[in-house]
Amino acid sequence: MTTPADLRVFLDAAARRPHSVGAIAPSAPQLCRRLAQIVPRTHVSTVVELGAGTGTVSDAIGERLVPGSRHLAIEIDPSLATRLQGRRPDLEVVVGDAADLRAILSERGVDRVDAVVSGLPWSLFPAAAQQRIMTAVAHVLAPGAGFATFAYLHALPLAGARGLRRLLHDTFDEVIASASVWRNLPPALTYTCRRPTVRSTWATPCVPTAYPAAHR
């Protein structure tokens, strides 16, 4: 739940860095719950959240996580990260850039994750930044893991949002857009993506290494 104090911190960050926060309010519970559905309720998991803000999506993720799971929340704005860590000491809040996802995880001994949930303002990023972050996401997903993100309805015709859709379809075998979430400010939809098609560094060879080279 967003408290008045959270809202103040969020609006302050949005005023200081409008092109980084990219929202006029924290996401509504309906949108947060939709995004969090990518998080497994069936087993202990490791989940990464990108652009956690004041933690509305973090709370929805927390409601699904099985005890013993790990939840890393990456947030570029130090004031938002400090606020979130103070309110949710159970989270591993990292002040950092989502583009450095792989390094951030590797420094913490994490190689694969079971879900990535994004609150990033994708449509404000240049194409190269979108690509860099999406590639990093694809590379850290474990087999069977998924990625969820959102987009604002009014921005869907704009170049940034069209670029994001193209990138999602280029990066994942399955991309499912949800129905509109009207009770968000502004209204939004989510994308749920599975099975990265980009080459993964984690991919194990299909052919056993003992197999003679001529037959590989």
Ligand X SMILES: C[S@@+](CC[C@H](N)C(=O)[O-])C[C@H]1O[C@@H](n2cnc3c(N)ncnc32)[C@H](O)[C@@H]1O
Closer to ligand X by CB, 16 or 216: give it. 16
Asked if residues 201 and 139 have their Cβ atoms less than 8 Å apart, the reply is yes
Closer to ligand X by CB, 73 or 141: give it. 73
Report cis status (omega within 30 of 0) of the bond before 212. no
* In the complex, minimum distance from the CB of residue 130 to ligand X, in angstroms, rounded to a whole number: 10
Two structure tokens written together for 31: 């949108």
Asked if residues 10 and 80 have their Cβ atoms less than 8 Å apart, the reply is yes
Closer to ligand X by CB, 72 or 80: give it. 80
Q: Residue holding tokens 């929202």?
A: 23
Helix H or strand E encompassing 138: helix 127-140
* In the complex, minimum distance from the CB of residue 127 to ligand X, in angstroms, rounded to a whole number: 14
By the criterion CB under 6 A, which residues form the site for ligand X? Answer: 20-23, 26-27, 50-53, 56-57, 74-77, 80, 97-99, 119-121
Integer angstrom CA distances of residue 57 from 29, 31, 210: 8, 8, 46
Closer to ligand X by CB, 33 or 194: give it. 33
- Whole-angstrom Cα distance, residue 68 to residue 105? 18
CA torsion 169-175-181-186 (nearest 10°) is -20
Q: What is the DSSP letter of 37?
A: T
* In the complex, minimum distance from the CB of residue 16 to ligand X, in angstroms, rounded to a whole number: 10
Asked if residues 99 and 132 have their Cβ atoms less than 8 Å apart, the reply is yes
Closer to ligand X by CB, 39 or 50: give it. 50
Closer to ligand X by CB, 12 or 97: give it. 97
